[in-house]
Amino acid sequence: MSVTEHGSIENKPEPGSPLVTISEGPPKPRKSKPVPIDPGFHYHRLRKTVHVICVIIFFLLPLSNMMRIDIPRQRFYFFGYELWISEFAIIFFAMMFLMFVIAAMAMLWGRIYCGYLCPQMIFSEASIGLENWIRRTVTKRVNSGPKVQRVLSRALFYGISGLAAVVLSFVFIAYFVEPRDLLHRLLSLDIKTAGGIAGATTTLLTLVDFLFVRLRFCTTVCPYGYLQGMLTDGHTLLVHYRDGNQECIECMKCVRVCHMGIDIRNSPYQIECVGCGECIEACNVILAKLGKPGLIHYVWGETGEVLLTGDKSWYQKIGLRDAKRVVVLLVLLFYGIGLFTALSMRHAVLVQVAPVRATLYRQDANGTVYNRFHLKAANRSNKQQTVVLSIEGLPGTRFEAFENAVVVNAGQTFDSDFEISASPAAGLAAGVNHFRLTSRVGNERDAFDETFITPFKDSK
């Protein structure tokens, strides 16, 4: 021990003693480790669940005749209804209704359709995921050089993509051609008929899309992204980066998970952004480990509150934030009700009765008068139907050589002439006699006002 020139005591180790270090001043406080928090909602899991449901629906709709346009048979199947080409008005308004729904979704919820429901997005992401999975698997399991691994990965990816393109093209063409007929064409490698050529062309285009186009379609060809820009306003749902306290750690995870290759921090109005929310979850997961909330959110407009937060009413929290959106929803509601009413009022069997006036009447030697009519009954249901005719307001008349009950098979049309006869005992007035022909199919009933012509007293 020695005394320094400043009067302080200095401890020096004696020879042979172990070296002892004595710290000067108070100990520095240790930094506390950040406490992780809940990262919040998992948008990636939600999207993939929705994608799986959409793929299942895509397969089920044509194969179950829930929604399909059968071009060879000129039929349109729409959720249990079988519409004929003569009912094009209903078909047109049904297609327009679906387009209006997508447009309304863009106004209320931005690019949600692109990120969650669009087939191009779903299958493009599936193609990218498949390619990455094959590359990782081959690299892990094949102990060869990088060149061999790369060639094997590409070969496997091309083979599986080719098989997927055939399956998806088959399902797509099944929306327009009867599936069993299409399967026969596929097994016979038909490339001569219109259906076979359409299937081969669709397969080739699908394969090119899987291998090369993918999400480039969204930014170069698809018009919906540009249309969405005209439909959105200050209250539309969008993905927005908010970092007022400069807490971003520049991990770039939000950029790496974006399939569109954009940086959401630059602007919420980038045309490539499809509103998928992958960047939201990525930021939440990283900052949650540091005990901080994420900096990217779904918000109602650039200056609006975060989705499902704030003191707004329930209808404002789901997107009905102004009168314009309420009007759009009401228009869609009335449109849907009108379409449903038109479908429910539609008769399963279309019955048409018209007089044949090439000859006004004919009269036999006994004075019995005959008038000819034409019956057309189109069975637009998927089961056999019976059409029963009856005469009202014309006493003493009957169907001549014609059964008033006509059986029409599913999807078939009965087309024939028949005669109604009136004997002299019927006592009909000379000239024009008005009456009514009624048709009954199950609980459906139609009435046709017709005329029965008899000779005048002075006619020969």
pLDDT at 221 over 90: no
Predicted local confidence at residue 127, as pLDDT: 94
Residue 254, both tokens: 């939000």
pLDDT at 86 over 80: no
Segment 102-106 shows an average pLDDT of 87
pTM reported for the whole predicted model: 0.77
Residue 202, both tokens: 């669709």
Cα 268 to Cα 143, 217, 226, 282, distances in angstroms: 45, 20, 15, 16
Query: Which carries the bigger pLDDT value, residue 22 or residue 295?
Result: 295
Predicted local confidence at residue 18, as pLDDT: 53
List, for residues 148-159, the tens digit of each pLDDT value: 999 999 999 999
Predicted local confidence at residue 457, as pLDDT: 66
Q: Helices 323-345 and 88-109 meet at what angle, rounded to 10?
A: 160
Predicted local confidence at residue 32, as pLDDT: 74
Predicted local confidence at residue 103, as pLDDT: 86
DSSP states of 192-215 as a string? SSHHHHHHHHHHHHHHHIIIIITT
Q: What is the largest CA-CA distance in the chain?
A: 157
Task: Give every CB contact of residue 31 below 8 A, 6+ residues apart in sequence.
Answer: none
Predicted local confidence at residue 294, as pLDDT: 94
List, for residues 3-15, the tens digit of each pLDDT value: 455 444 455 555 5
Position 214 confidence tier, pLDDT thresholds 50, 70, 90: very high
List, for residues 345-397, the tens digit of each pLDDT value: 888 888 999 999 988 999 999 889 999 999 999 888 878 999 999 999 999 89
Predicted local confidence at residue 321, as pLDDT: 87
Q: How many CB atoms lie within 10 A of CB 218?
A: 22
Query: Which carries the bigger pLDDT value, residue 17 or residue 97?
Result: 97
Most confident of 19-33, 90-104, 383-397: 383-397
Predicted local confidence at residue 22, as pLDDT: 52
pLDDT at 453 over 90: yes
* Distance from C-alpha of 452 to C-alpha of 127, rounded to nearest angstrom: 70
Q: How much is the mean pLDDT over the chain?
A: 87
Q: Worst-scoring range by mean pLDDT, 1-10, 98-107, 190-199, 328-337? A: 1-10
Contact by Cβ (8 Å): 439, 414: no
Q: Phi and psi of 249, rounded to 5°?
A: -100, 10
